[in-house]
């Protein structure tokens, strides 16, 4: 075998291996998707059937029974709402820490991250009781507030690590030309970091969309986002696999497709830009 | 620039996080010292350490702590070891790399409740599941995963979700590895293993630290997977701290004991964070 052939074989084997791993890891999602088009009988057939006449009945039944649109709307409102609020609060903070660092900046950042280490169960009871007393149980308001605070540390960190890498000279030049701090942020920093801000926003939206602890414990039906709707399929209706799959496909499809388009930014974002 | 303005810009974030941390935490501390059962309102007398005693002597306590730690460590080991190996193997150009990337990361976007339902039903069901079908085709008895190996089932579900994240971080990191260095090592007769051990692994130290830190934050709080799939059972076999506290507070209405448990979870998270920061902190810079 020539060296060239050897190299080709190696590439082929690498590809084969990579595809196998990817397909094995993706299989459960593929299977969920396929099952959602089956009848209930086909869904539990042994051996599993791969070729069948697809039906859309399951999707119709899911919408009729648990009002998918209603829960999807709750997911959209809570994840986009809290992301926008968190960005508005975080951008000034990250800006001031990145461009005017003090002695305590590093400590403040680490402290912020440490609030993420505080396990949610540690404060479940008081939050539950506060929500009950203020009539916020099963309300979107409560979820938006909690999601905002939950992601705020990560958002500040991500924005900080992007802002930090912006060339300081540009800001100085702007200041020489008489720009106020407000101008600096709005006309210089923000336009330069559109990419960074959008990938931060994407990550926050994904984390909110998939958040399950607070949405399972604080909502019942009115404000229940998709994570909570799906949990209601766990038992005993869980035995209706085709409907379960249809509901799951509907719940995950928006965020998975969304994620496919921005996976690269997401990984960079979630590692605080530490991995490039 | 004007100190006051920078402070002012930071204030909203800092104040909100302080409030978010201090108010619920002090309420938890207060509740943990009184008798507080939602079924018996009005009998909220001070009881000192009694709630802590109840929580620690609860038959679920020891299993919950050990399950929490086993879950954390197993998933960390599985995702980091497999992640490093797989990413080193696929870090070369091949046909359809873009699609493979997209397929690989997908499980990371699946919500935990759906994750648990797919695995519980379609994969692990002892009669109709894919695993049962595979083992029967191979001539083995199908395994009832959720009742025979509940904790391992949860570990599989959680690893499935986080392995893609690890692989993607490592692949991204490997792309910045110095190829000249690798080629030079090859020239000098280094084997594939030597290159992996002495060049790739050190290069990955920082990404590994990042993955371990982020996963730990989320793994200590695993809840939905257990809630949906095993319900903590059978017995306490797959109950972790988060689930045990949820059980005390919202199923048994005992706020006092649940609060004591919550404080214990905070303590455990701090211990883990302490060791974690010591172990991986030197690889992280602000």
Residues A83-93 have pLDDT tens digits of 999 999 999 89
Mean pLDDT along residues A264-273: 67
Give the pLDDT of residue A269.
66
pLDDT of A99 strictly over 90: no
Residue A124 near chain B (CB below 8 Å): yes
Give the pLDDT of residue A237.
53
A residues 70..109 contacting B (CB < 8 A): 89-90, 92-93, 95-97, 100, 102, 106, 108-109
- Residue contact B228–A129, C-beta within 8 A: no
Burial A76-95 (b: 16+ CB within 10 A, else e): eebbbbbbebbbebbbbbbb
A residues 143..202 contacting B (CB < 8 A): 149, 152-153, 156, 181
Token pair listed for A165: 């890498």
Closest CA of chain B from A7, distance in Å: 11
Q: Which domains does chain B carry?
A: 52-283 (1.10.3720.10)
- Residue contact B95–A15, C-beta within 8 A: yes
Predicted model pTM: 0.86
Give the list of residues 6+ apart from residue B204 with CB closer than 8 angstroms, or none. Answer: B84, B170, B173, B174
Note whether B238 and B230 are within 8 A (CB). Answer: yes
Mean pLDDT along residues A184-202: 82
- Residue contact B6–A126, C-beta within 8 A: no
Backbone dihedral angles phi then psi of residue B252, each to the nearest 5 degrees = -105, 0
- The chain-wide mean pLDDT, for chain B, equals 83
Q: Considering just the CA atoms, what is the radius of gyration of chain A in Å?
A: 24
pLDDT of B205 strictly over 70: yes
pLDDT of B286 strictly over 50: no
Give the pLDDT of residue B145.
85
For residue B190, give the DSSP letter: -
- What ipTM did this prediction achieve? 0.84
The shortest CB-CB distance from B90 to any of A14, A29, A124 is to A14
CA distance A195 to A192: 8
The shortest CB-CB distance from B100 to any of A18, A106, A123 is to A18
Closest CA of chain A from B45, distance in Å: 18
Mean pLDDT along residues B122-137: 84
Residue A258 buriedness (CB in 10 A; 0-12 / 13-18 / 19+): middle
Share of chain B above pLDDT 70, in %: 95
3-state helix vs strand vs coil in chain A, percent to 5: 75, 0, 25
Share of chain A above pLDDT 70, in %: 94
Domain boundaries, chain A: 3-57, 66-270
Lowest model confidence (mean pLDDT) among A11-20, A238-247, B60-69, B276-285: B276-285
Name the one residue in this structure whose structure tokens are 């497999």. B82
Sorting pLDDT into bands at 50, 70 and 90, what band is B161? very high
Sorting pLDDT into bands at 50, 70 and 90, what band is A236? low
Mean pLDDT along residues A61-82: 89
Give the pLDDT of residue A235.
63
Chain A to chain B Cβ contacts (< 8 Å): 296
Token pair listed for B269: 């998270």
The shortest CB-CB distance from A17 to any of B12, B90, B217 is to B90
| Chain B residues within an 8 Å CB radius of A231 | 113, 224, 227-228
Give the pLDDT of residue B27.
86
pLDDT of B36 strictly over 90: no
CA angle at B12 for the pair B11 and B14, rounded to the nearest 5°: 65
CA distance B56 to B53: 5
CA distance B2 to A228: 47
Backbone dihedral angles phi then psi of residue B234, each to the nearest 5 degrees = -65, 145
Looking at per-residue pLDDT, the higher value among B284 and B102 belongs to: B102
Give the pLDDT of residue A270.
64
CA angle at A161 for the pair A155 and A162, rounded to the nearest 5°: 90
- What is the CATH code of the structural domain delimited by A66-270? 1.10.3720.10
| Chain B residues within an 8 Å CB radius of A106 | 286
Lowest model confidence (mean pLDDT) among A109-118, B147-156, B191-200, B235-244: A109-118
Sign of CA dihedral A247, A74, A218, A270: positive
| Chain B residues within an 8 Å CB radius of A12 | 94
Mutate to test the interface with B, among A119, A130, A171, A218 (most CBs of B within 10 A): A119
Sorting pLDDT into bands at 50, 70 and 90, what band is A267? low
| Chain A residues within an 8 Å CB radius of B270 | 117
Q: What are the helix (H) ranges across chain B?
A: 3-31, 50-57, 61-90, 97-105, 112-117, 130-137, 145-148, 150-174, 179-187, 192-195, 201-203, 205-219, 224-228, 241-246, 255-280
């Amino acid at each position: 075998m020539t060296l060239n052939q050897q190299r080709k074989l190696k590439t082929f084997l690498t590809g084969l291996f990579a595809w196998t791993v990817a397909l094995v890891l993706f299989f459960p999602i593929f299977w969920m998707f396929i099952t959602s088009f089956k009848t209930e009988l086909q869904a539990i057939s042994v051996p599993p059937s791969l070729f069948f006449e697809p039906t859309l009945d399951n999707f119709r039944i899911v919408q009729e029974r648990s009002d998918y649109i209603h829960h999807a709307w709750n997911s959209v409102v809570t994840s986009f709402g809290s992301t926008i609020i968190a960005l508005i609060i975080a951008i000034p903070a990250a800006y001031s820490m990145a461009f005017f660092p003090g002695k305590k900046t590093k400590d403040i950042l680490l402290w912020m991250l440490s609030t993420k280490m505080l396990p949610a169960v540690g404060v479940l009871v008081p939050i539950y009781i506060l929500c009950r007393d203020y009539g916020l149980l099963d309300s979107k308001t409560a979820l938006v507030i909690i999601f905002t605070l939950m992601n705020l540390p990560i958002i500040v960190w991500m924005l900080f690590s992007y802002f930090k890498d912006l060339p300081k000279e540009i800001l100085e030049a702007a200041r020489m030309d008489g720009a106020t701090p407000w101008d600096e942020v709005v006309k210089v920093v923000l336009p330069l970091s559109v990419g960074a801000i959008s990938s931060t926003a994407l990550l926050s939206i994904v984390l909110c969309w998939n958040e399950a602890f607070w949405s399972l414990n604080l909502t019942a039906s009115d404000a229940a986002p998709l994570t909570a709707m799906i949990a209601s399929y766990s038992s005993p209706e869980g035995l209706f696999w085709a409907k379960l799959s249809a509901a799951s496909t509907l719940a995950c499809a928006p965020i998975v497709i969304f994620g496919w388009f921005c996976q690269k930014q997401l990984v960079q974002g979630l590692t605080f830009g530490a991995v490039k | 620039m004007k100190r006051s303005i920078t402070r002012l810009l930071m204030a909203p974030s800092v104040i909100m996080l302080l409030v978010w941390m201090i108010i619920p935490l002090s309420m938890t501390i207060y509740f943990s010292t009184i008798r507080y059962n939602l079924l018996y309102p009005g009998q909220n007398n001070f009881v000192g350490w009694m709630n802590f005693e109840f929580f620690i002597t609860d038959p679920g306590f020891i299993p919950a702590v050990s399950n929490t730690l086993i879950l954390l460590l197993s998933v960390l080991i599985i995702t980091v070891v497999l992640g490093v190996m797989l990413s080193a193997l696929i870090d070369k150009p091949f046909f359809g790399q873009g699609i493979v990337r997209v397929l690989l990361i997908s499980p990371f976007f699946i919500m935990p409740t759906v994750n648990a339902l797919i695995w519980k039903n379609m994969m692990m069901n002892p009669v109709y599941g894919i695993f049962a079908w595979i083992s029967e085709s191979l001539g083995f008895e199908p395994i009832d995963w959720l009742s025979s190996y509940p904790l391992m089932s949860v570990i599989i579900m959680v690893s499935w979700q986080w392995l893609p994240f690890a692989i993607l971080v490592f692949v991204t990191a490997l792309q910045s590895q110095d190829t000249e260095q690798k080629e030079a090592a090859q020239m000098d007769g280094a084997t594939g293993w030597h290159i992996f051990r002495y060049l790739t692994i050190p290069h990955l130290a920082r990404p590994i630290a990042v993955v371990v830190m982020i996963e730990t934050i989320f793994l200590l709080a695993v809840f939905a997977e257990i809630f949906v799939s095993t319900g903590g059972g059978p017995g306490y076999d797959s109950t972790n701290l988060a689930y045990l506290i949820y059980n005390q507070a919202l199923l048994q209405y005992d706020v006092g004991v649940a609060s004591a448990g919550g404080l214990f979870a905070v303590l455990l998270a701090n211990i883990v964070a302490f060791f974690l920061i010591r172990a991986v902190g030197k690889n992280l810079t602000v």
